[in-house]
Amino acid sequence: MSNLAILPILLPLLAGIITAFIHKKTKLVRSFSQITAVINLIVVGYVFMTIRSQGTIVLEVGSWEAPFGIVLVGDLLAAVLVLTTNIIGVAAVFFAPKSLTEKEESFYFYSFFFLLIAGVSGAFLTGDLFNLFVFFEVLLMASYGLIVLGNGKAQLRESIKYVLINLFSSMLFVTTISFLYSVVGTVNMAQIAQRVQEVEQQGILTTIGILLFFVFATKAAVFPLYYWLPRPYSAPNAVVSALFGALLTKVGIYSILRTFTLMFNQEVDMTHTLFIYLAALTMIFGVIGALSTHNVKLIVAYNIIPAVGFMLMGIGIFSEVSLSGTVYYLIHDMIIKAALFILAGATVYVAGTSDLRKMGGLIHHYPVLGWMMFLASLVLAGIPPFSGFIGKLQLIRGAVGQGEVMIVIVALISSLLILFSMIRIFIRGFWGDKTDIPRPDRKEKGSRMVYPAVFLLTLSVLLGVGAEWFFPVVESIAQYLMDPEIYIDSVLKE
Amino acid sequence: MEFIMAVLAGILFTTGVYNLLQKQLLRIIIGTGLISHGAHLFILTMGELKRGAPPVLTEGIEKYTDPLPQALILTSIVISFGVTSLLLVLAYRAAKINGTDNMEQLRGNDYE
């Protein structure tokens, strides 16, 4: 049964290879990808149910025993995130034909898409720090392929910056792993967690922990390392932006969550207090960015940053309640960011411009798109009863429980400003007198672009309204994260 | 020996970062190359440098070389090789389409 853990990586990888061979037959590759993505979602759903009922699945690749070989650890946290990744994958693969031109589709979009899913799933599932680096590279390579798709002037310019910052942080990652290896003599996460407790010089380990945090913070766009994010995320095609915004920064946050609950939890006073300050600054600066621009896609891209702040806040507070908030917010944010980027892409497409000052009155022509944008803004800002509210409620409960009042004030104010920045799109773009339809030729295709976002928003609303059903899973994940011994035992089998 | 290697890796990092901060695109790429060499040397050094010992551990042998850092370096070299070649192609295309290889002019504005 333990082979189940590799299926979420293997299936997209194979699909990516197959689609590379048939990339020129657009219709064939399109329907093949859609079917495979749905099958993959079903398989991952089955894996999730199995892990839910039977507990953590550990796969020792090539039957090399745990501390020596590479292990894949399918615990509940990884399973939930892989499931969410695949839900977004399905929405994206159905959105792709509406958003891309046929030529762009045939230039290996689906191959890179599946490799991205494989890389993200692998990063969630791996139990080996060096292997995490390898899966980071897999998903980054796929993202390099996706970001240049379309070959536009601005796109190429932004993708250079994107590749450079990621290359630099990857090299820092490798260096940090080698430091850690020289201290603890292993790269297996469970064994690192075990040995970190035994090492006498705790100072050097905290230094290594902070270095690792910097690496992941660069990927996750935490203050002050967020400056690279907004432009590369708003430059490419809408479907690519949706995938990036939903998945890539979340992998960084997941890595911080995993590293600092499992391995480096020996100096909570220092490291985790630092996280709380950085989380507050991340929220403030992200939301200022979102308010500073009139570009629809940039507003949505900037809104990724305060969300990262919220998740980091939960890790910083480091209690069971706040960690459940972080996990819930992580799932919520993946879904809502994908929906928002799809909606922003559709808005820009039908308006023919991304400048809010040149838009207006779109709701008369595209009522569904307008109301979906409104709903998405409410979900993102965390208006009850939607999913953002549940996550934020848990985070704030956790913070108040630990006496961190400042961060609560910052979080609440930035939530309000997030709502304001999003509602601006609705007011400036959709309200207003009925004008001539801006691009009549795009009316039919533009209206159809909304459906994948409707699917994601329905899920998001269900996640909030039906929190009663989902919350026990999140709570058990939080309990599990607070007790690293369970992870260590399930991998090293002691 | 470890000390010399660590200093060498440090020099590679310094020159790499210096090049990374230049405006010309090609220099930046050379900078990333130097940094990745520095990182690879680091991994080798961290696994302790030994000579004349096989990387295998069998019964009765006390002296052996740690094979894991070598496996890690190999993976890392392949990855950085791939990324560097991709970066060179990307930089060529970007410089050609944007008509400049100066990062100062590649800043861009908001609406396009």
pLDDT tens figures, A121-133: 999 999 999 999 9
The lowest-confidence range among A206-210, A353-357, A389-393, B7-11 is A353-357
Q: Taking the CA atoms of A272, A278, A283 and A284 in sequence, report the sign of the dihedral they define.
A: positive
Q: Dihedral, CA atoms, A399, A402, A405, A411, nearest 10 degrees? A: -10
| Closest residue in B to A187 (Cα–Cα) | B68
Question: b or e along B75-88 (b: 16 or more beta carbons within 10 Å of the residue's beta carbon)?
Answer: bbeebbeebeebbe
Cβ–Cβ below 8 Å for A153 and B97? yes
Mean pLDDT on B26-54: 86
CA distance B39 to chain A (A): 5
Nearest residue of chain B to residue A231 (CA atoms): B110
CA A261 – CA A277 distance, rounded (Å): 18
For A356-371, what is each residue's pLDDT tens digit? Answer: 888 888 888 888 999 9
- Convert the pLDDT of each residue in A400-441 to its tens digit: 988 889 999 999 999 999 999 999 988 888 887 877 777 778
B105 in contact with chain A, both atoms CB, cutoff 8 A = no
- Quote the pLDDT of residue A494: 61
C-beta separation of A388 from A330 below 8 A: no
Higher pLDDT, B59 or A328: A328
pLDDT at site B111: 47
Angle ∠(A15,A129,B21) on CA atoms, nearest 5: 90
Q: How do residues B81-98 score in pLDDT, each as one tens digit?
A: 999 999 999 999 989 988
List pLDDT tens digits, range A39-93: 999 999 999 999 999 888 888 888 888 788 889 999 999 999 999 999 999 999 9
Concatenated DSSP letters of B9-69: HHHHHHHHHHHHTSSBHHHHHHHHHHHHHHHHHHHHHHT---SS--S---TT------HHH
Helix, strand, coil percent content, chain A, rounded in steps of 5: 80, 5, 15
Non-local (6+) Cβ contacts of A363 within 8 A are A369, A370, A371, A430, A431
Residue B60: its pLDDT value, please? 72
Q: Kindly list the distances between the CA atom of residue A247 and the CA atoms of A65, A331, A332, A333, in Å, as whole numbers in the listed order.
A: 31, 10, 12, 9
User: Domains along chain B?
Assistant: 2-51+65-102 (1.10.287.3510)
Is the sign of the CA dihedral A63, A212, A289, B95 positive or negative? negative
Residues of B in contact with A156 (CB under 8 A): 90, 93-94, 97-98
Q: In this complex, is the C-beta atom of A168 within 8 Å of any C-beta atom belonging to chain B?
A: yes
pLDDT of residue B109: 63
Residue spans of beta strands (DSSP E) within A16-104: 57-60, 71-74
B112 falls in which pLDDT band (50, 70, 90)?
Answer: very low
B110 pLDDT higher than 60: no
Does residue A177 sit at the B interface (CB-CB below 8 Å)? yes
Percent of chain A with pLDDT strictly greater than 70: 100
Tell me how close the Cα of B25 comes to any Cα of chain A, in angstroms.
Answer: 9
A266 vs A461, residue with greater confidence: A461
Kindly state the tokens that stand for B17.
Answer: 């970062």
Query: Confidence band (pLDDT; 50, 70, 90) for B57?
Result: low
The count of structural domains within chain A is 1
Query: Cβ of B90 and A354 within 8 Å?
Result: no
Residue A150 has pLDDT above 90, yes or no: no
Its domain, for residue A187, covers 2-492
pLDDT at A217 over 60: yes
Query: By C-alpha distance, which of A186, A181, A142, A187 is closest to A162?
Result: A142
**Cis before residue A224, ω within 30 degrees of 0?**
yes
What's the pLDDT tens digit per position in A450-460? 899 999 999 99
Task: Give, in order, the Cα–Cα distances in Å from A236 to each of A114, A134, A290, A312, A450.
Answer: 18, 25, 18, 27, 19
User: Span A253-273, mean pLDDT?
Assistant: 88
